[in-house]
Amino acid sequence: MLLLPFGFIFYTFNCFAQDIHFSQFFNSPLNLNPGLAGNFIGDFRIVANQRTQWSSVTTPYSTYSLGADAKHIYKTPFNAGLSIYHDKAGDSDFSTLQVALSLGYTKYIGDSSHTVSFGIQPAFVQRSINFSDLRFDNQFNGNNFDNTLGNGENFQNDGRTYFNLHSGIYWNYNIAQRKSINAGFAVHNITQPEQTFFKESIPLKQRYTFHAGGVVKVHNKIDVLPRFIYTSQHKFKEIILGGSAKYHLNNGDYKNLYAGLYYRNSDAAYITVGLDYRSFHAKVSYDINISTLEVASNNRGGFELTIIYIFERYRPVIKRYKACPNYL
């Protein structure tokens, strides 16, 4: 019989384990929707995300992600990106490492203010677990735990590597300056790869995501950015509602300030604050746990940090030749 930590792992496997998620889903585009590759103002984008949660309950769960993408490759409507994420959970160091290539295509509807983008994302995933840090009932000598005793288990595999595939579509319409609307739909785990370390068949179920957002100007210096996401994976569902206020500083290198509030159904509420500085966008968020786990968590959930850098190629201003007027 396995003790509690390992039991949680089996519970997760038997419930068809869920994928990673970020509270700042809108700031992790290549993880949210492959159709978002190349959808930004600029030429080249780098996105870094870090999330730590449940440090008040158990060994913290940590997720890191790094992505880069570019638009209009060789002046074509094609976009491309590369993303990596690493997730580590619990006492067993249960780890997931994914490396994914994003390939996208943008179709203009009329002009550049109205677009539809399609994306596909092949990925390679490696999962591993460290059994040596787990405790078993055979190591209890009747009075206390003794790690010199054998655990009585025979683990034949502590890792697995598999291929995965994701795809998505994204629509964006810039109605006017500082007024836009967007929506997207993505399907992850299309191949439903086997994820178990053991003999039984436990495929990673497909995950369906619908997300929407926009920008609304409400004042000369203030915009409102509403956002919504619905995610479904097997028996699990997640809904997040909320938004941010964007304050235009118009102060040289310091461009915009952000403050937001979001609610994740039956789980957490979280706040966000951010800043645009030159070509950088930085945002932090903190989850306040309001689920039944709050008895153990004391309402403390997860801290998350995002840094985005957008690079724009230098485009020289071409001065047209003007002839001097002839007064003669």
Contact indicator for 108, 75 with CB cutoff of 8 Å: no
Of 122, 119, 123, the closest CA to residue 37 belongs to 119
* Domain of 75, in residue numbers: 4-311
- Residue closest to 260 by CA, chosen among 226, 228, 289: 226
Is residue 316 included in any domain, yes or no?
no
- Does residue 323 sit within a domain? no
Q: Rounded to an integer, what distance in angstroms lies between the CA atom of residue 220 and that of residue 248?
A: 8
The residue that leads in pLDDT, 158 or 310, is 310
Average pLDDT over residues 177-193: 97
Report the domain count for the chain.
1
Cα–Cα dist 173/118, whole Å: 15
Rounded Cα distance, 257 and 246, in Å: 6
Q: What is the pLDDT of residue 145?
A: 76
What are the backbone angles phi and psi of residue 145, rounded to the nearest 5°? -80, 135
Half-sphere exposure (CA, 13 Å, Cβ side) for 85? 23
Output the pLDDT for position 2.
Answer: 38
pTM, entire model: 0.85
Residue closest to 60 by CA, chosen among 35, 82, 79, 88: 88
- Domain-embedded: residue 291: yes
Question: Is 326 within the bounds of a domain?
Answer: no
325 belongs to a structural domain:
no
The answer to the question of residue 179 being in a domain is yes
Q: Is residue 324 part of a domain?
A: no
By the 8 A CB rule, do 149 and 89 touch?
no
Can you give the CATH number for the domain in which 224 is found? 2.40.160.40
pLDDT digits (tens, 9 = 90+) for 113-152: 999 999 999 999 999 988 777 777 777 877 787 777 777 6
Of 12, 1, 2, nearest to 134 by C-alpha is: 2
Domain assignment of residue 319, yes or no:
no
Q: What is the DSSP string of 107-125?
A: EEESEEEEEEEEEEEEEEE
**Could you report the per-residue pLDDT of 195-235, keeping only the tens digit for each?**
888 778 889 999 999 999 999 999 999 999 999 999 999 99
